[in-house]
Structure 1
Amino acid sequence: MQITVKVKLQPTKEQSKLLMETTKHYIYLVNQIVSDYAVADRNLKYSSKDVIADLPSAVKNQAIRDAKSVFAKYKKAVWANARLKPDEQREVKLPVLKKPVAIWNNQNYSLKEDVLSFPVFVEGKSKRMEMKAILTGYQKNLLNNKPGSLRITQKSGKYIAQIAVQVAENTAADSQIMGVDLGLKVPAVAVLESGKTKFFGNGRQNKFIKRKHRSVRRKLGKLKKLKAIKKLHDKEQRWMTDQDHKISRQIVRFAQENNVTTIRLEQLSGIRQTARTSRKNEKNLHTWSFYRLAQFIEYKAKLAGIHAEYVNPKHTSQKCPVCGGLNKATGRKYRCGCGYKTHRDRLGAINIISATVADGNSLPA
């Protein structure tokens, strides 16, 4: 299974300038080749000698491969559009890369002792540039696996190296599936096929912090202190993201401890319309990112060699796992006429284990 390890880079001012030039030349070259393919309506047999760009030959070749991939997706979209009825067809525009990025294959870079080395174009020649990389012990352990391509991009003014690696999947003999239900009062509940259950996060603390920030923002709004409002909003977002990181780590650790090979979550499309909440929690519902927490769980599960998938959420909060009857919970308790009873969020996680796997990827909430 392939995963991506994101590594922070610390370039000098000169190195930052070279990286900016390299990434801009890279996307310009990819866009130019795609445009050439579109004019010819086919892939042209380009090599690094056929294209002009201030890039090392190896990077030029990677740009040609990327252009082929972009053009193939474009042709597929054109073909799919042509099969639609005339009144359903739409214009298919040729893709244009805008975000600066550059890619090196695994034979053209190295990462040793927190130093990333890769070729760039300097004064008409290809030279290797050594740049400091910030690595955690966990990342170093992952990078001991077989490395793939290196992708360098810029985010919020900082350069990030994205390195693809191959990791082994969990194949324990006593493995099992785990269902995870996300919510507000209880951020997450995980249930194993054996019935073992664990609750994660503090919903009351989350709501208190959000109410506190909302109250302060309201006061700042009356004083028209826009910069202070933005600063406070960013602080709240950092806190929420940190909470999601902590919860997702705990969930995946719980899965590892119990030999889980598959984590199942509800498909997130429409969760704001179907989530179980009261009117007083409505503001929290529409500002909490269920999608981000699910993404963190999925990403960390992959790092641990655990598969993550999404299921159809229909009736997961109402269906009795014993008799199949549908009942609405009262407060935090779920009771069925057959005598079965449990916590309402635990019920959701139990039903997620056996729910039908949803088609396609879940959409952001």
Structure 2
Amino acid sequence: MSTITLKLELHKPTQAKREMYQQMTAVHTDFANWLLMHPEINKATSMIFKEYSLQKFPSAVVNQTIREVKSQKKKQGAKTFKKLWCCFNNQNLKVEKKGDLYTVAFPTFEKKVGVPVVVKPYQQAWLERIMNGTAKQGAGKLCQKKRKWYLAIPITFEVAGSNKEKAMGVDLGLRYIAVASVGTKSLFFKGNQVAFTRRRFSSRRIKLGQTKKLDAIRKSKNTESRWMKSQNHKISRQIMNHALIHGVGVIRMEDLTDIRNTAKSKKESGRNLHSWSFYQLKEFIKYKAEMVGIRFEEVDPKYTSQTCKCKHREKSNRKGLVFKCKSCGYTAHADLNGAINIGKAISGLSSKKKKKKGKAA
């Protein structure tokens, strides 16, 4: 069994609802801290909340809080909580779909109501699996980040098809940072917005350099590095979700040894993507794959951009982002064709490790 967490943004909650969520969090945190010091915490039931306050509070949340506080006190020796988000178990948190709109119902001060959520394309399949019973929903948390409210819902599921060796290929590049392909399903991550953001970082550092503000330059580099890491985490997480949904048994990526020599950039990309941490992205995908039992392999990138599904190989098959076979006329997005070929490992697995072993011997 494997687990991932879906972070669903609540769709434009009213000011009154935002204030209610804030108040619920405050009451919940204070109650949890009070409960930590209670001499009979091990015997506590939902009725214990009346000792703390006469305020109305969902018993479902109280029961979940008691379990969480007991666990954290026993396993982690918790002494105080700075902020403890309200938690709802799978019996009190219900995902539903009305037309094209997904809602999540959970208890509040007022009543249990369905709240619309913003669902990204890669999240839809997971919500469908919750509703059709092929994935098990865990206890969700109502939390806030950067003035937005979210429901974080853990999902437990079987890694389907991991023994069938269904392969996913992931192609890395400049115009599209990553393109993932498994069967007829694909996932694209454009590089233009990333390049634009990195040019802004670079432009700002040039101006700071003219005024000799070295500390500010250092901070800018650190900020950019953290931003790049965050982007790579997001991309790798979506690629892994895509793999899990489609029962992938092995993820294949190209050997990145010569990526800066083979990747040709245009003026709008330049150094901003040549210095992108492709290696970091590959490592994120690798460790996330291994965590859920999916094998990771590196392949030889030779001819992956030139070869057609009919086996015809010719350099002129690819022109920019368009792949068109000179033999059979097959047409596809060039990076997608590359990802498909990487998934098939048409040039074999990377021999890099074998060479290193040979030299050591």
TM-score in terms of structure 1 length: 0.53
CA distance in 2, matches of 1:177, 1:148: 29
**Aligned counterpart, 1:47:** 45
Output one character per residue of 1:302-350: Cα deviation in whole Å (capped at 9) or x when no partner: 9xx953699xxxxxx99742783346xxxxxxxxx9xxxxxxxxxxxxx
Q: CA 1:248/1:163 → structure 2, altered by over 3 Å: closer, same or farther?
A: closer
CA distance in 2, matches of 1:161, 1:32: 25
**Aligned counterpart, 2:357:** 324
Output one character per residue of 1:251-308: Cα deviation in whole Å (capped at 9) or x when no partner: 8768988x7536699xxxxxxxxxxx9xxxxxx9999597677556666x59xx9536
Q: CA 1:148/1:211 → structure 2, altered by over 3 Å: closer, same or farther?
A: closer
What RMSD in Å do the two structures reach over aligned CA positions? 5.7
Contact 1:102 1:151 (C-alpha < 8 Å) held by counterparts: yes
The aligned runs of 1:111-150 (5 Å cut-off) are 111-112=95-96, 113=98, 114-122=102-110, 127-144=111-128, 145=130, 146-150=136-140
CA distance in 2, matches of 1:207, 1:45: 57
1:162 to 152, 158, 172: 152
Q: CA deviation at 1:35?
A: 2.7
Tell me which amino acid in the other structure corresponds to 1:68.
Answer: K
Pair 1:21-2:23 in alignment: yes
Tell me which amino acid in the other structure corresponds to 1:117.
Answer: A
2:92 to 108, 119, 123: 108
Q: CA deviation at 1:48?
A: 1.1
In structure 2, the gaps of 5 or more residues are 131-135, 181-187, 254-259, 261-272, 297-349
Q: CA 1:241/1:151 → structure 2, altered by over 3 Å: closer, same or farther?
A: same
Pair 1:56-2:61 in alignment: no
CA distance in 1, matches of 2:83, 2:284: 22
Q: Across the two proteins, how many residue pairs are aligned to each other?
A: 272
Tell me which amino acid in the other structure corresponds to 1:324.
Answer: K
**Aligned counterpart, 1:334:** none
CA distance in 1, matches of 2:31, 2:108: 15
Q: CA deviation at 1:18?
A: 0.7
Tell me which amino acid in the other structure corresponds to 1:325.
Answer: G
CA distance in 1, matches of 2:279, 2:209: 27
Contact 2:25 2:85 (C-alpha < 8 Å) held by counterparts: yes
Contact 1:151 1:161 (C-alpha < 8 Å) held by counterparts: yes
CA distance in 2, matches of 1:43, 1:291: 45
**Aligned counterpart, 2:337:** none
CA distance in 1, matches of 2:74, 2:280: 30
2:124 alignment partner, SS class: helix
The aligned runs of 1:167-246 (5 Å cut-off) are 167-175=157-165, 210=198, 213-220=201-208, 241-242=230-231, 245-246=234-235
Q: CA deviation at 1:12?
A: 0.8
**Aligned counterpart, 2:293:** 307
Contact 2:9 2:149 (C-alpha < 8 Å) held by counterparts: yes
2:358 alignment partner, SS class: coil
Q: CA deviation at 1:175?
A: 2.2
1:117 alignment partner, SS class: strand
1:2 alignment partner, SS class: strand
In structure 1, the gaps of 5 or more residues are 76-93, 191-199, 266-276, 278-283, 311-316, 328-336, 338-365
Q: CA deviation at 1:25?
A: 1.4
CA distance in 2, matches of 1:322, 1:234: 37
TM-score in terms of structure 2 length: 0.54
Contact 1:47 1:64 (C-alpha < 8 Å) held by counterparts: yes
CA distance in 1, matches of 2:16, 2:155: 29
Contact 2:28 2:85 (C-alpha < 8 Å) held by counterparts: yes
Q: CA 1:8/1:50 → structure 2, altered by over 3 Å: closer, same or farther?
A: same
Q: CA 1:70/1:215 → structure 2, altered by over 3 Å: closer, same or farther?
A: same
**Aligned counterpart, 2:6:** 5
Tell me which amino acid in the other structure corresponds to 1:50.
Answer: I
Tell me which amino acid in the other structure corresponds to 1:101.
Answer: W
Tell me which amino acid in the other structure corresponds to 2:151.
Answer: A
CA distance in 1, matches of 2:242, 2:137: 24
Contact 1:170 1:306 (C-alpha < 8 Å) held by counterparts: no
CA distance in 1, matches of 2:239, 2:154: 24
Q: CA deviation at 1:121?
A: 2.0
Contact 2:163 2:249 (C-alpha < 8 Å) held by counterparts: no
**Aligned counterpart, 2:317:** none
Contact 1:245 1:293 (C-alpha < 8 Å) held by counterparts: no
2:76 alignment partner, SS class: helix
Q: CA deviation at 1:99?
A: 3.0
Contact 1:264 1:308 (C-alpha < 8 Å) held by counterparts: no
